[in-house]
Amino acid sequence: MLVNFPQVEFAIYPAVIHIHHMTPIQIEQQAQAISATLQSLSPSTSFRVNLRLLEYCNTRFSEKQVKRIDENFHDYSFGTRFRLRQPPQNPPRRLRYLIEKFFSGDVSGDIGEALFAYFLMSVMNLTSSQIGHTRPVKRRGYLTPDFVVWDSSRRLASVLQKSNYRLPLLAEVKAFTGLIDPARIAHGLAQLQMAIANSTLIGLLFLVVRNEQRQGYDVYLVRMER
Amino acid sequence: MEYDLAFVMSAINEVNESVWLGDYKKAIETADINLETAKRLELIGFEKTANEIRGIIKQVRKEAKQEKIKNRRLWVAGKVSKTIEEKQLDPVKNLFGAMLIHLRDLREAIAYLLESKSQTTMESYGDKIPQEGDSLQRTDRYRYSIQRFPDRWEVRAILDIGVLQWNVGKLREELPGYGFSIEEVLKERPSRTFELYSQEMYAQIIGQDNQVGISIYTPDTPDARQRVRKIIETILKTLGQ
């Protein structure tokens, strides 16, 4: 029986970001500030991840066709990189053999999306029909976020720190197994800037970041309003 | 207005659920009902907003390319959001318009798949002729499909009740009849996960809302298919009692 459930820590970025009049430079600065602050935030809660259910979330909510996210989640959390075989001969001059595999951005992205769905269902108690993955429409050039969340019972009130909010909630998910890249955070902010323009909708940036010290993933929620 | 529109997202999820199960006819049926509702509610205008914003994005991206803007993505976002404000376009209409377009396209793609499947001759399947019993099974309480993988059998099912109403006590009574002992991995509010062990078999059951995924590892004996089917039907029937 599975007894070792990975633990994920969850923190809320304290400030609500008002994105309305932000210029590209200001968005970049904001992304830098988020990136610099994240790992000093103290977690507001933590949750155990049932890997079987995470795999279910992966098959139902992630964009890329990656299987066995449960096993990948385990390896990526620990930072386990597989070693490759090397020939006994030295490599030709100026060349080096590949000795360790690299983490895949697609797998990392899948972990992020599956974890977002897992968080909404297992921690916030939403049902799967309240979560819409709008990525296919986004790929075709329409303006949509990664996810639309129809939280009709206002179960996210505690994390949004608001009791009343307009639906749907629009979310972008970014995952980092290596270093946090502020440029990718800026892209997430920019996408939400467009998606919530001219409205009172709330944008959520869900950041999934591997914590080297803890050998596990931490998740951060950044709230955005116009 | 909020509740009027949530159905578009639920419809897409429902269609995806049926596709997950391999129930394409039901998927088309669901899409048709909801597209009809959208028509009745006169939501077609929302698609116009979605297409207008799509056109704006396309135009601004082109401009950014021509002007060789440095941080193109952020520049485009700034300009697009400004245009949306100026033109007073509604992002909710845009979103649901885009989702309606997606629902319609999804319906077309599934219909196309179904049509091409029905035109497939037995010859073109070659040695991949589906074995009897692989197709979708329906009762009034559940629908399920079985897929055979090299090392296991995978079952996808949709019950008429959610996980919270599962009769787990009954399941614990019935499964020892197949030599299984049951352990619950983690009980969480909207989901349940079980592992089943026997001398020769191993199985996992994962339930989320009204969906069930079952993996069964069993020796490849001539009666394996029959045995798997019997176990699945017992599980699904019992959970719904």
pTM for the full predicted model: 0.88
* pLDDT attached to residue B56: 95
* pLDDT attached to residue B159: 92
Contact residues, chain B, for A143 at CB < 8 Å? 50, 53-54, 57, 80, 91, 94-95, 98
Higher pLDDT, residue A189 or B68: A189
> Taking all residues of chain A, what is their mean pLDDT, rounded to a whole number?
89
Query: Among A28, A125, A196, whose Cβ lies nearest the Cβ of B74?
Result: A28
In this complex, do B98 and A167 lie within 8 Å of one another by their Cβ atoms? no
Side chain identity, residue A120: L
Grade residue A222 by pLDDT with cuts at 50, 70 and 90: very high
- The DSSP bridge partners found for residue B188 are B191
How far is B23 from B20, CA to CA, in rounded Å?
8
How far is A166 from A201, CA to CA, in rounded Å?
6
B58 touches A at CB < 8 Å: yes
Q: In this complex, how many residue pairs, one in chain A and one in chain B, have their CB atoms less than 8 Å apart?
A: 156
A215 touches B at CB < 8 Å: no
* pLDDT attached to residue B60: 94
Give percent of chain A above pLDDT 70: 98
Contact residues, chain B, for A1 at CB < 8 Å? 183, 185, 195
| Least trusted range by pLDDT, from A14-18, A96-100, B101-105 | A96-100
Range of the domain at A61: 7-77+103-225
How far is A122 from A155, CA to CA, in rounded Å?
12
* pLDDT attached to residue B122: 47
* pLDDT attached to residue B23: 87
- Cβ atoms of A144 and A74 closer than 8 Å: no
- What mean pLDDT do residues A140-154 have? 91
For residue A30, being part of any structural domain is answered with yes
Query: Among B6, B74, B186, whose Cβ lies nearest the Cβ of A5?
Result: B186
Instruction: Give me the interface pTM, i.e. the ipTM.
Output: 0.83
B80 touches A at CB < 8 Å: yes
* pLDDT attached to residue B119: 58
> Scanning every residue of chain A, which has its alpha carbon at the shortest distance from the alpha carbon of B47?
A142
How close does chain B come to A28, measured CA to CA in Å?
8
B9 touches A at CB < 8 Å: yes
* pLDDT attached to residue B168: 87
Query: Among A22, A28, A122, whose Cβ lies nearest the Cβ of B188?
Result: A122
- Cβ atoms of B24 and B18 closer than 8 Å: yes
| CATH 3.30.160-classified regions of chain B | 134-239
How far is B237 from B167, CA to CA, in rounded Å?
10
How close does chain B come to A46, measured CA to CA in Å?
14
Does the structure show a pLDDT above 90 at A8? yes
Number of domains in chain A: 1
The phi and psi torsions of A5 (rounded to 5 degrees) equal -90, 125
Side chain identity, residue B99: M
* pLDDT attached to residue B120: 53
Fold of B134-239: Double Stranded RNA Binding Domain (3.30.160)
For residue A202, being part of any structural domain is answered with yes
A202 touches B at CB < 8 Å: no
For residue A87, being part of any structural domain is answered with no
How far is B238 from B170, CA to CA, in rounded Å?
6
Q: Give how far the C-alpha of residue B145 lies from the chain's centroid of Cα atoms, to the nearest Å.
A: 13
Grade residue A163 by pLDDT with cuts at 50, 70 and 90: confident
Contact residues, chain B, for A22 at CB < 8 Å? 78
B161 touches A at CB < 8 Å: no
Low-confidence ranges of chain B (pLDDT < 70): 1-4, 117-134, 189
Q: What is the pLDDT of residues A68-81, one digit of tens each?
A: 888 888 889 888 88
Does the structure show a pLDDT above 70 at A154? yes
Grade residue A179 by pLDDT with cuts at 50, 70 and 90: confident
- What mean pLDDT do residues A43-66 have? 86
- Cβ atoms of B183 and B195 closer than 8 Å: yes
In this complex, do A150 and B94 lie within 8 Å of one another by their Cβ atoms? no
Give the best residue of B3, B110, B181, B188 to mutate against chain A (max A CB count within 10 A). Answer: B188
3-state secondary structure chain A: CCCCCCEEEEEECCCCEECCCCCHHHHHHHHHHHHHHHCCCCCCEEEECCHHHHHHHHHHHCCCCCCCHHHHHHHHHHCCCCECCCCCCCCCCCCCCCCECCCCHHHHHHHHHHHHHHHHHHHCCCCHHHEEECHHHHHCCCCCCCEEECCCCCCCHHHHCCCCCCCCEEEEEEEECCCCCHHHHHHHHHHHHHHCCCCCCCEEEEEEEEECCCCEEEEEEEEEEC
Question: Cis link prior to B130 (omega < 30° from 0)?
Answer: no
- Cβ atoms of B2 and A164 closer than 8 Å: no
- Binding-face residues of B in 180-199 toward A, CB within 8 A: 183, 185-186, 188-191, 193, 195
How far is B89 from B54, CA to CA, in rounded Å?
12
For residue A84, being part of any structural domain is answered with no
- Cβ atoms of B204 and A52 closer than 8 Å: yes
* pLDDT attached to residue A201: 93
> Scanning every residue of chain A, which has its alpha carbon at the shortest distance from the alpha carbon of B3?
A152
Q: Given CA atoms A192, A193, A197, A199 in this order, what sign does their dihedral have?
A: positive
- The DSSP bridge partners found for residue B111 are none
